[in-house]
Each structure stands twice: as C-alpha cells, then as structure tokens.
Structure 1
Amino acid sequence: MHRGLKPLLAVAAVAFAAGCGAPSDPQVTFYSHGNSVEVAPAQYCDPTGENCSKPPADPAGELRMTGRDPLQISVPSEVASAPWQVAFVYRDVAGQEVESRSAVFAPGTRHAYTLHLPPDAARIEHVEVQQFSALLTAGPDGGVQFGIGGSWVLDVHQ
C-alpha cells in the first residue's frame, strides 16, 4: 500500500464510524394485539420550533388493529422531555368521524400511554403523537397556544 493512502484511509474510517454513531430522530412505537410499528417523525424540530429535520417520504406508519383493541404508545426520552399529547380520529357507531385527544402530559412524567376508545367509538383510524415546542402563538380566544415541534403519525387499518 502506498504510504500516502494509510492516513487517508484512517481518516475515512473515523469519519465513517462517527457517522454511524450520529444521533437520529426519535422513533415512537405503537403496539396493539401482537403487532407493533416504530414510526419516524413526520415533523421534528428543536425546542424553539426551528431547525427541523427533513420529513420522510412517507411520514405515516401503518398498523393493523381489530375493532376496539387498545393502542399502546411508547415514546423515548427525547419526546417525553417536553409536553406531549395524543390526538386521534375514530369512527363512532353511526359511522361519523370524530376527533379527540388525550390530556397533555407534563415533561418527564410519562413515556407511555394506552389509548382506549370512548364508549361511542366503533374503531380508531388515525393517531398522532404531538410534542409541543416553546413557540407560542396567539390563540383564537385571546390566549396563547404552543406550537407542535414534533409529530409521529399512525394510520390504522382494520
């Protein structure tokens, strides 16, 4: 091997190893009735709501669920370290689409949530884990609203 190539190969190996260990965007795990899927963020920004990662080509994960089975959601520390909630869409027994959401979870208080459908629900269709950012905007009623800095999307199939 040529003497000049050894230092170049060593630098390339270090750069490759450093790239492999680079942190990636946090994944959220959705689980129901023996099936699970890890979902990359559809949106993920720093706490100020800026410096956002490029979203994946197909931002929604997919999971097959049966009827009214509960959906377990696990979030990593990167998500749980800020306020977060679960927004979801379900069909009621009359077939109407209904939007709902969980309570907002305080930073560092929980890493998991089990979504149980309301009594009038027939099936769940769409779920989104929403992590709030520190970005505030004026609300429609004169108050303030926190921006969504991260979101992980799941489409449910029966």
Structure 2
Amino acid sequence: MLRLVLALLCLGLLAGACGGDEAKPQVSFSAGGATVAAAPVQYCNQRDTQECANDPAAVVKLAVAPGTAVQVSVPEPVKQAPWHVVFTYLTATGERIDARGPVIPAGQRSEFTLTLPAPTDQLVRAEVQQFAAGLVAEPGGEVSFPISATWALVVAGT
C-alpha cells in the first residue's frame, strides 16, 4: 500500500512538473511615469512557428503624450532571441507612418527606448516582436525571418 501511495505521489509530482502551460513572458511598456505589463498576443513554438497561441485580448493600453519616449523592457526569455520594436505613429499633419527599430541581437539587450522623430509626433501602437530560432526558406529561394512572439501596446485615446 505504501508503495502504491508513493508511486501515485511521484506520478502526480512528475505530471505537475511536466504538464500544463508554462508561463509566457511579459514585456513592459513605460511612459510618463506609468508602466503596463503585456502578455503576448501571439506566442509560437520556437522550432515550429505554425504552432501558435493567439490572445488578441492581451493588447495593453497606456496614455502616451505626443513626443513622449516609451521605454520597452523584455525579460530574459525574450532577450535570448533577436527582437525588435515595430510601431505606428501620426505626424503633426496627421500622416500615419509605420516604422521599426533596429533588430536587437540575441542576448545583448533587455531594454529599448522608442523615441519618435519629432516632438509633435503621436505614438499610436508599438509591438515587441521576437524572432524565431531559425530561418525559413520561401518558394523562389528567398529567406524569411519568422516572428515567434508578439506583445502589443495601443496608446489610449488614439
């Protein structure tokens, strides 16, 4: 009987250690003294970017005044692969511009400051995109760099 109880206990501990969803990393966006933590809106298997979990409700909102820099912080699991910030902003004339920051090489940095070109520019959206571990050969011989995870911020009131 004792062996059966011990076996069941060990099996339960093993299942608990191996099973279930592992916690997905969160990215922080900070501006004007406020910070929000974002769960991923898309999170894929690093080896198979076709195996993904999507959560559109994970988009976070933050008030960001025109011309205000946004500090982006990523945890160690995100930092271990190349990543970058893509963003959309409005100029003073209302022109909508899509842009991106530099690719941060794997293991190098866990922070990025998003600064818009002009003090009158208004950030609309920012996304942290983590690249997958490998390249994908496309038909025609081109190579793509798939995104394995995305965290998104929408600026409140835009």
TM-score bracket for the superposition, by shorter chain length: 0.7 to 0.9
73-82 or 57-66, larger mean C-alpha shift: 57-66
* Amino acid in structure 1 at the alignment position of 2:26: Q
Distance of aligned partners of 1:79 and 1:139 in 2 relative to their CA distance in 1, 3 Å threshold = farther
Distance of aligned partners of 1:84 and 1:34 in 2 relative to their CA distance in 1, 3 Å threshold = same
Consecutive unaligned residues of structure 1, counting only runs of 5 or more, are 1-6
Structure holding more strand per residue: 1
40-49 or 94-103, larger mean C-alpha shift: 40-49
CA drift of 1:128 comes to 0.6
State the alpha-carbon separation in 2 of the partners of residues 138 and 121 from structure 1.
Answer: 40
Distance of aligned partners of 1:49 and 1:17 in 2 relative to their CA distance in 1, 3 Å threshold = closer
User: In the alignment, what sits opposite 1:60?
Assistant: 59
Tell me the matched-pair count. 154
CA drift of 1:45 comes to 1.4
User: In the alignment, what sits opposite 1:3?
Assistant: none
Q: Does 1:103 align with 2:98?
A: no
Q: Does 1:136 align with 2:140?
A: no
User: In the alignment, what sits opposite 1:44?
Assistant: 43
Root-mean-square deviation (CA, aligned residues, Å) is 3.2
State the alpha-carbon separation in 1 of the partners of residues 119 and 137 from structure 2.
Answer: 33
CA drift of 1:14 comes to 5.3
Q: Which runs of 4+ in 1 moved over 3 A?
A: 13-19, 49-53, 137-140
TM-score, length-scaled by structure 1:
0.80
CA drift of 1:139 comes to 9.0
CA drift of 1:56 comes to 2.4
Once the two structures are superposed, residues 42-75 of structure 1 have per-residue CA deviations (whole angstroms, 9 ceiling, x without a partner) of: 1111222437453225131111111211100000
User: In the alignment, what sits opposite 1:93?
Assistant: 92
User: In the alignment, what sits opposite 1:113?
Assistant: 112
Distance of aligned partners of 1:48 and 1:14 in 2 relative to their CA distance in 1, 3 Å threshold = closer
